[in-house]
Amino acid sequence: MAYHSFLLEPISCHSWNKDRTQLAICPNNHEVHIYKKAGEKWNKVHELKEHNGQVTGIDWAPDSNRIVTCGTDRNAYVWTLKGNVWKPTLVILRINRAARCVKWSPKENKFAVGSGSRVISICYFEQENDWWVCKHIKKPIRSTVLSLDWHPNNVLLAAGACDFKCRIFSAYIKEVEERPSPTPWGSKMPFGELMFESSSSCGWVHSICFSESGNRVAWVGHDSTVCLWDANKKTAVASLSVETLPFLAVTFITENSLVAAGHDCYPMLFTYDESQGSLTFGGKLDVPKQSSQRGLTARERFQNLDKKASTETNNVTLETLHKNSISQISVIAGGKAKCTQFCTTGMDGGLSIWDIKSLESALKDLKIK
């Protein structure tokens, strides 16, 4: 497990390029820094300065090599690499609150921005005017949209919001694509159509993710729950109330397994049993370094007793790799169906790359189905 500490400030958001040699991060300010991997080290190669507010979302389109960023200044910029410089193009989102998350669609001809104005802006490029245009999905979103994920058919979009619901909308733009074929989510998909809405659990939906096939969607809520809905089964939402602090990020690593991470600073595995329609906890995915336990001297024992009224040698430092909440997970290699590596960034300013094979060998009873 490789851990690299980039900064002392939290990493607000990150995105990898196609071959995973470069990483774009926001170091908790108005800029985006692009780092290039050189052996074991990371060198900063670009600084993207255009936003006037904190950058809350970055997405790097793998094929067209464009970066879209969105921020609290209610703007989004699409950056294209010209020579050795990233040039921004402003996208008018027509929102009056901060933008919170942004995602390129699978075909990279449009992107979606979730914002505090209770609206999702779907932006596409209009050739005639050489300009990015946006359309809004408004109803029935009642609060800030915190997270977005696209279905592989480039039309359906899952959105998790602060009104405790997960919804799937159609973001079909007839100017840029063909009519989509029917899916398990429905067959009529005009723009803005609500294909699915979960019943309320009680927590803000921090993160949402489609599986590789697009037939399953999983989300995590602030009430410490993980939920999954299988469009093919149409039974009740499979939800699991966990005993840990709430999660902030979730992703599929196979069609049946989820990795979620959040305020407990380590990723956890969850497995979906299709026959029973239930989610179960699969294991804690952290292999902390075993720090040498040195015995306490007598003097330290008395000090402990005096200060803390206990003689226990409780370690006050976290034993996990990340020393603060993990805010984002992304799949690096293998896709969402056969993930071999994923990466996490967090509020401790660090980035960890997790290798599934080494995790499986290190943690003996880990079964990833």
Partner 1 sequence: MARNTLSSRFRRLDIDEYDENKFVEEPDEAAAAAEPDPVPEVEALLRQGDMLQAFHTALRNSPLNTKNQAIKERAQGVVLKVLTSFKSSEIEQAVNSLDRNGIDLLMKYVYKGFEKPTENSSAILLQWHEKALAVGGLGSIVRVLTARKTV
Interacting residues toward partner 1 by CB under 8 A: 118, 142-143, 163-164, 200, 202-203, 222-224, 241-246
Q: Which is nearer to partner 1, 88 or 114 (CB)?
A: 114
Inter-residue contact 48 to 93 (CB < 8 Å)? no
Question: In terms of C-beta density within 10 A (0-12 exposed, 13-18 middle, 19 or more buried), how is residue 82 classed?
Answer: exposed
Residue 224 beta carbon to partner 1: minimum distance, rounded to whole angstroms: 4
What is the closest distance, in whole angstroms, from the C-beta atom of residue 117 to partner 1 in the complex? 8
Shortest Cβ 169–partner 1 spacing (Å)? 17
SS3 of residue 20 by DSSP: coil
Nearer Cβ to partner 1, position 134 or 161? 161
Give 283-351 as a DSSP string: EE---------PPPPHHHHHHHHHHHS-------S--SSSSS-EEEEEEEESTTTS--EEEEEETTSEE
C-beta of 244 vs 340, nearer to partner 1: 244
* Rounded-to-10 torsion of CA 38, 44, 47, 53: 110
DSSP assigned state of 141: -
CB of 326 to partner 1, least distance (A): 16
Rank residues 193 and 223 by Cβ distance to partner 1 and give the closer one: 223
* Shortest distance in whole angstroms from residue 309 CB to partner 1: 17
By the 8 A CB rule, do 335 and 251 touch? Answer: no
Closest among 57, 52, 141, 150 to 102, alpha carbons compared: 57
Strands 145-150 and 13-16: unpaired
- Residue 253 CA to residue 269 CA, distance in Å, equals 9
Q: Helix %, strand %, coil % for the chain, to 5?
A: 5, 45, 50
Of 243 and 365, CB closest to partner 1:
243
Closest distance of CB 106 from partner 1, Å: 31
Between residues 232 and 241, which has the closer beta carbon with respect to partner 1? Answer: 241
By C-beta, is 25 or 227 nearer to partner 1? 227
CB of 131 to partner 1, least distance (A): 27
Query: Of 21 and 241, which has the nearer Cβ to partner 1?
Result: 241
Shortest distance (Å) from residue 216 CB to partner 1: 23
Single-letter amino acid code for the residue at 32: V
CB 162 within 8 A of CB 204: yes
Of 209, 177, 176, 171, the residue nearest 189 (C-alpha): 171
